[in-house]
């Protein structure tokens, strides 16, 4: 893996009405090179692994701000991802304890699926997914190792076995359905349940792994994308509104915005009290990886 230091800016910012403290660190990404991060997974050393949405590249940003390419998933010449009409879209990424990364890949072709990425080896498709889907967030079940994948157009969250390639429609229905654009988006496994965001409906939905019906646990969130947990608090990226919010006890608070360098946040990750925010700049601004502290 080769790294190039492309610059690290330290941003001093006052985050109003927020649990984030003042000092944030921003690692700029290269928009011209297609470094628009869609999702994020954290390494034990604090490095951040990022899916770059349209290039097929999985990048890694080290704690000192070096940006490199960890792996590349081939972009099919005949690819045509539904609605966005790109040849490829890289969605969610999750890390297994041994270091394997699992990435959702949409192409509109038979190359669509869940891929395993092992540093130093070529990515491998471990399960085929419907070519007509827009496969977005992913989350790994630590109990059994299966991976949950959200299909933003299919109104479904699928359960995938990386070992056997078996794919099951695990949760379906109106709670996951889009209204005009994107339904089921971000996915996390937390506290005995699979949590899913729905940006079209501005909701966060909880599905117990036991199989009982899902329910809306937060609403009125706007175009909510990926999210993470900080204790009992949800931290969520609100993409087109250029905000990061916390959701706790029925209250939503903005903790980061454009004044903090946020530009179409697509994903967040939390380790301890450190918050990572990946900004894709799909609709303006500059892509970056922002790191700050949560109180």
- CA dist list (Å): 89 to 5, 12, 236: 26, 34, 21
Contact indicator for 293, 275 with CB cutoff of 8 Å: yes
Residue 97 phi, psi dihedral angles, 5° rounding: -55, -35
Instruction: Quickly list DSSP for 21-90.
Output: -SEEEEEE--TTTT--EEEEEE-TTS-EEEEETTT-EEEEE-TT-EEEEEEEPPPPTT---TTT--S-EE
- Mean pLDDT of all residues in 62-68: 96
- Mean pLDDT of all residues in 148-168: 97
The rounded distance, in Å, linking the Cα atoms of 74 and 107 is 10
- Mean pLDDT of all residues in 172-201: 96
| Residue 52: burial class (beta carbons within 10 Å; 0-12, 13-18, 19+) | buried
Q: How confident is the model at residue 211 (pLDDT cuts 50, 70, 90)?
A: confident
pLDDT of residue 9: 37
- CA dist list (Å): 21 to 58, 264, 273, 294: 30, 21, 10, 6
For residue range 74-99, list pLDDT tens digits in order.
999 999 999 899 999 999 999 999 99
Entry pTM:
0.92
The rounded distance, in Å, linking the Cα atoms of 287 and 35 is 7
* CATH number for the segment(s) 3-293: 2.120.10.30
**Mean pLDDT of the residues in the chain:** 92
pLDDT of residue 182: 93
């Amino acid at each position: 893996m080769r790294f190039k230091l492309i610059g690290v800016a330290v941003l001093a910012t006052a985050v109003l009405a927020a649990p984030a403290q003042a000092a944030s660190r921003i690692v700029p990404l290269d928009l011209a090179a297609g470094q628009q991060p869609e999702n994020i997974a954290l390494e034990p050393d604090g490095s951040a692994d990022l899916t770059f949405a349209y290039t097929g590249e999985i990048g890694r940003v080290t704690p000192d701000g070096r940006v490199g390419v960890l792996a590349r998933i081939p972009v099919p010449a005949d690819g045509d991802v539904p609605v966005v009409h790109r040849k490829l879209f890289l969605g969610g990424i999750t890390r297994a304890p041994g270091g394997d990364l699992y990435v959702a890949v949409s192409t509109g072709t038979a190359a669509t699926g869940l891929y395993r990425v092992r540093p130093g080896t070529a990515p491998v498709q471990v399960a085929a997914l419907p070519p007509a889907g827009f496969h977005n967030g992913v989350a790994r079940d630590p109990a059994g190792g299966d991976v949950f994948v959200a299909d933003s157009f299919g109104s479904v969250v699928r359960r995938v076995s990386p070992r056997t390639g078996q794919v099951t429609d695990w949760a379906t229905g109106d709670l996951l359905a889009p209204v005009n654009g994107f339904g089921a988006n971000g996915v996390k496994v937390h506290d005995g349940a699979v949590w899913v965001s729905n940006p079209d409906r501005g909701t966060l939905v909880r599905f117990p792994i036991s199989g009982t019906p899902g329910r809306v646990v937060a609403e009125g969130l706007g175009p909510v994308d990926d999210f993470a947990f900080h204790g009992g608090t949800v931290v969520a990226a609100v993409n087109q509104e250029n905000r990061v919010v916390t959701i706790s006890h029925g209250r939503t608070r903005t903790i980061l915005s454009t004044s903090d360098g946020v530009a179409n946040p697509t994903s967040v990750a939390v380790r301890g009290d450190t918050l990572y925010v990946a900004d894709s700049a799909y609709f303006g601004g500059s892509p970056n990886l922002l790191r700050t502290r949560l109180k």
